[in-house]
Amino acid sequence: MLDLSSNELEGNLPWCWENLTSLKYISLYSNQLTGDIRDISSSGKSFLWLIENNTELVTLFLRNNYFTGPLQMPSNPHSKLTELDIASNNFSGNIPEDIGTSFPGLEDLTMSSNRFTGTIPSSFGDMASLVSLDLSYNFLSGNIPNSLAMASLQYLDLSYNFLSGNIPNSLAMGCRSLETLRLSNNSLQGSILPARHNLIQLKYLKLNVNNFTTIPNSLSRCYNLKTLKINLNHLDGPFPTAICQLKSLDYLDISENNITGILPACFGPDIEFVKLSKNRLQGQLPHAFFNRTRLEVLDLSHNQFTGPIPKWFDSLYSLWILLLNNNHFEGEIFSQFCHSPLLNLINLSNNSFSGGVPPCLGNIAYRPSVSQELVADQFVQFVTKSMPLVYRGQEVFFFFAIDLSCNNLAGHIPPEIGKLFHLKSLNLSHNSLSGTIPITFANLTGTESLDLSYNKLTGNIPSQLAKLDWLEVFNVSFNNLSGPIPEGPHFQTFDGMSYVGNQFLCGKPVSRNCTDPKPAMVRPRTRAMVRPRTRKETEFMDMDIFYVSFTAAYITMLLGVFAILCINPYWRRAWFHLVEVSLSFCYYFVVDNLP
């Protein structure tokens, strides 16, 4: 056994390693080793020359280095090698066609994040023992080969490539032991599964970011399916009834498609994560999630749901994230949410809710704990600090926020909200709230964004708020507040737009001085007092120079971006993915907001 991982080793591998014939385990993970390993060998004949004579080798880890060159297989089959990880290097060229016959005993093969091109070799079908295969983050093209139909295959990951076409029937019929299938971020199309398949052992199916259009009824035969991610495809039509028959399903993400109609009441008792945002679902919420006590994440945002919040929400004791924003919900916000004391993220913005803010929201307990699998895959978009921000993974894990903005809420702000010490963001803007700002808000010591703008608030800004050291964004604009702005390290350094529309506020940063009983009068100037100014004096800048400098800077920026995308393939793919996501976002924004 030889383990030199996670050091700062540089240079080439020593040639004498090819004589270490008793080694069974070699790990060079996370170093800075370089070189074309074909040319270092004394024979110059083989891929990974150090295994040419090391016939006892079982495990070889070369991940996260700088090795280069196309792969070249050993001259003789290496049947004892079971684990091979060469991910995150600079290998290039095609994957050798004889890789399956050269390593027939492989169980775990990881070749992701390199520069491989071409198609997936059919010889993968010769690896009868293969359990895990990862070819993600490369430049492979073409269809998924039929030769991947390996009866013992349990894990198949071909995500982040350029695969096209349909999922082969042979794969669906032959991979009877398959438990995980990851084909996300490709260009696959058609049905997410063939009409006939033997994938009854399938537990994790992740096909997001493709061009699939159909969910077949045969999906219901995946009796053991626990995770289904098919977001960002082109699925349309009513909500698939096949999903209703997946009683073991606990994770469902079908967001950003064109699913229409009414949401059926058919989810299984084990459901924990549901994300249906940015579809065209409509109507009132049925008893879809009644008594689903394990449900932790519910995202129904950016749809066309109507009616009041159902009473059965008080049965969701484990609810952790609730996103109902950008719908047409109405009625009062009753105490349904107060029976879900573990809510960490509530977004009810851009609806037609009326009534007051429930005081019992102050009883919500901060709970920074949730299923680690849900945290790893979860991301939410939340408007905070005056901008839409995306929170992923562990960021969601610690995020605690409430957004009730853009509704028809009235009445006073409950002082009980001040009990939420760990609250990161509170947005009550664009309502008709009245009364004063509660002094208890001084207890929101963890708050980073507080938006109370566009309401009917009166009175002073409590001086006790000056001790909110973490506050980065504070907005009380367009209310009827009066008196001095509190002195402190934050409030007098906020932008003046945070206080605009309150004509009786005084002190920095607004222009009115608190010692003046009335705004200072400015003596008007007569025409005789004004000297005619030349054109250059009236212009803000020399426009000729501005046009020339702007054009030169714009062209330089475009050329720089073009050069970077040509040189770095990873950034190039990330750029195209960003463009695709942006176009999809714009499309659904227009669909949601145009009548």
Name the token pair of 126.
């010769």
Q: Is 591 helix (H, G, I), strand (E, B) or coil?
A: helix
Name the token pair of 64.
């996260």
Please give the radius of gyration of the chain, using alpha carbons only, rounded to the nearest integer. 30
* Alpha helix positions (H), 317-377: 372-377
Determine how many CB atoms are found less than 10 A away from the CB of residue 300: 24
pLDDT digits (tens, 9 = 90+) for 143-164: 766 666 655 667 888 788 887 8
Contact 249, 223 (CB under 8 A): no
User: Which positions ≥6 away from 515 have C-beta within 8 Å?
Assistant: none
The mean pLDDT value for 44-69 works out to 77
Residue type, 438: P
H-helix or E-strand containing 84?
strand 83-85
pLDDT digits (tens, 9 = 90+) for 422-462: 888 999 999 999 999 999 999 998 898 999 999 999 999 99
Q: Is 347 helix (H, G, I), strand (E, B) or coil?
A: strand
Contact 187, 162 (CB under 8 A): yes
CA 482 from chain center: how many Å? 42
**What domains sit in the chain, N to C, each tagged with a CATH number?**
409-521 (3.80.10.10)
CA distance 403 to 478: 18
Q: How confident is the model at residue 41 (pLDDT cuts 50, 70, 90)?
A: very low
Contact 347, 324 (CB under 8 A): yes
CA distance 345 to 324: 11
The mean pLDDT value for 23-30 works out to 91
CA atoms 4, 9, 12, 16: torsion sign: negative
The mean pLDDT value for 408-422 works out to 92
Please give the mean pLDDT across all residues of the chain.
81
CA atoms 440, 314, 455, 424: torsion sign: positive
Q: How confident is the model at residue 575 (pLDDT cuts 50, 70, 90)?
A: confident
pTM beyond 0.75: the answer is no
Determine how many CB atoms are found less than 10 A away from the CB of residue 295: 25
Name the token pair of 574.
């990330």
pLDDT digits (tens, 9 = 90+) for 290-340: 888 889 889 999 999 999 988 888 888 888 889 999 999 999 987 767 767
The mean pLDDT value for 453-482 works out to 91
Q: What is the largest CA-CA distance in the chain?
A: 101
Query: Judging by DSSP bridges, how do beta strands 379-384 and 387-392 pair with one another?
Result: antiparallel
Q: How confident is the model at residue 42 (pLDDT cuts 50, 70, 90)?
A: very low
H-helix or E-strand containing 110?
strand 108-110
What pLDDT score does 95 carry? 78
pLDDT digits (tens, 9 = 90+) for 489-548: 677 778 888 899 998 998 888 878 887 665 544 343 333 443 444 444 434 456 677 778
What pLDDT score does 386 carry? 63
Query: Among the ranges 67-71, 127-131, 313-317, 328-332, which has the highest mean pLDDT value?
Result: 328-332
Query: Among the ranges 13-17, 345-349, 525-529, 535-539, which has the highest mean pLDDT value?
Result: 345-349
Name the token pair of 373.
């699998």
CB contact burial 385-403 (16+ within 10 A = b; e otherwise): ebeeeebeeeebbebbbbb
Tell me which residue of 84, 25, 17, 80 sits closest to 49, measured CA to CA.
17
- Phi (first) and psi of residue 379, to 5 degrees: -150, 145
Q: What percent of the chain has pLDDT over 70?
A: 82
pLDDT digits (tens, 9 = 90+) for 542-565: 667 777 888 888 888 888 888 887
Tell me which residue of 297, 287, 290, 341 sits closest to 323, measured CA to CA.
297
Counts for the chain of helices (H) and strands (E), in that order: 9, 41
CA atoms 220, 268, 156, 91: torsion sign: positive
As a whole number of Å, the end-to-end CA separation of the chain is: 68
